[in-house]
Amino acid sequence: MSESLRIAVVGFGEIARRQHVPAIARTAGAALVAVVDPVTTQAGLPHFRDLQALLREGPEIDAVALCTPPQVRRAQAAIALAARKHVLLEKPPGAAVSEITPLIAAAHKAGRTLFASWHSRYAPAVEPARHLLAGRRITKVTIIWKEDVRVWHPGQAWIFEAGGFGVFDPGINALSILTRILPHPVFVRRAELAVPSNREAPIAAELELSDEGGAPVRAEFDFRQTGPATWEILCETDAGPVALLRGGRQLRDDDRVIVDADKDEYPALYRYFLALTADGKSDVDLAPLQLVADSFMLGRRRFVDAFEE
C-alpha cells in the first residue's frame, strides 16, 4: 500500500463534488486517484463508467467512497470488498437494513474497513452536546428538520423512488445525531408519512419516539419548507434546555452559546476513515437506519398533493 490512502469516488453527484473531493484534498494521508460515474468526470483524474471497469483497467486504489444512490450501494460495496478495498458508505449506508450485515461479514473476511459514515455526527457541536447531556436527565426532545427539496436535492428524482428515503434522506442526519448524543437507545412508537400522490417516498414525516426511560422524542421532517432550512434538536433536561442548532454547528446551554462554528464535517469524517483503515477496524452503526426502517414499518401513510420538480 502507498503512503497515502488511494481513494476512488464512486458516484460523482453534488455531494461528491461539493463535500468528498475537497475533504479528501484537505486530509493528510488521503489522495483522490479516480472517479467512477456513468457520465460526470473530474478534470485531471482517470474516469470510469462503472466500478468493474476501474478495478479492471484503472490505477491502483486502496479504498472507495460510495456516493451513489442507496438503491445500488450494496452491490458496489460487495464488489469492492471482494477486491479487498476499504469501503466508505455515504449515508444512508443502504436501501435496507438487511443489506448491511453481509457486508460486515465480507469486510471481516477481506480484512478491510467498512465505514457507515454518518457525516452529521462530525458537525462541531455534536460531541460537546453528547458530553453535556451525559450528566443530565433528559425529559423531552423535539427535532425540527425542514428544508426545501428543490434547493438541496435539485433534479434527484431517485430520492422519491422506493428505497430513496424521501424526506428521511435529510431526516436520517437528525437521527444520526440523536442516536449519538442521547445516553440511551430510542424507539419508534408512531409515525405518519405524507406521500405525494405521484411519488413512492414521503415528502414529510412526523415521528413519536421514546428512550428506555420513556422520555418522549418528537420529530418533524419536511421537504416543503421554503427559505432557510431549519435543522434543530431541542432537549429539555433537569438542568435547563439544551439546543443543538444549525445542523449541529451551534450548541446552546440555556442562554449560553457553548459552540458556534462553521467547520465542515467531511474532513473530520475522512480523518476517522483513515484511522479505521490504519487500525484494520470497521465502524458500522445501524441505529439511524433502523429507526428509519421502523418508521416505514409502523408509519401510517396519507397521500398529499403531487410533487413536481
pLDDT exceeding 90 applies to what percent of the chain?
A: 95
Told to judge if 109 belongs to the known catalytic residues of this protein, a careful annotator would answer: no
The Cα 13–Cα 68 span in angstroms is 8
Q: Which of 91, 140, 146, 281 is catalytic?
A: 91
CATH class of 5-116: alpha beta
Query: What's the pLDDT at 294?
Result: 98
Query: What's the pLDDT at 31?
Result: 97
Q: Please, are residues 179 and 250 in contact by the beta-carbon 8 Å criterion?
A: no
The architecture CATH gives domain 123-262+293-304: 2-Layer Sandwich (3.30)
Identify the bridge partners of residue 219 per DSSP, sorted by sequence position: 143, 207
Largest CA distance in the chain: 60
- The per-residue pLDDT for range 7-48, each reduced to its tens digit, is 999 999 999 999 999 999 999 999 999 999 999 888 899 999
What is the pLDDT confidence band of residue 274, given thresholds at 50, 70 and 90? very high
Q: Which three cell numbers stand for residue 70?
A: 442507496
Query: What's the pLDDT at 42?
Result: 86
- The per-residue pLDDT for range 203-246, each reduced to its tens digit, is 999 999 999 889 999 999 999 999 999 999 999 999 999 999 99
Would you list the domain boundaries of the chain?
A: 5-116, 123-262+293-304
Task: Please give the model's pTM, rounded to 2 decimal places.
Answer: 0.95
The overall average pLDDT reported for the chain is: 96
Residue 167 has pLDDT above 70, yes or no: yes
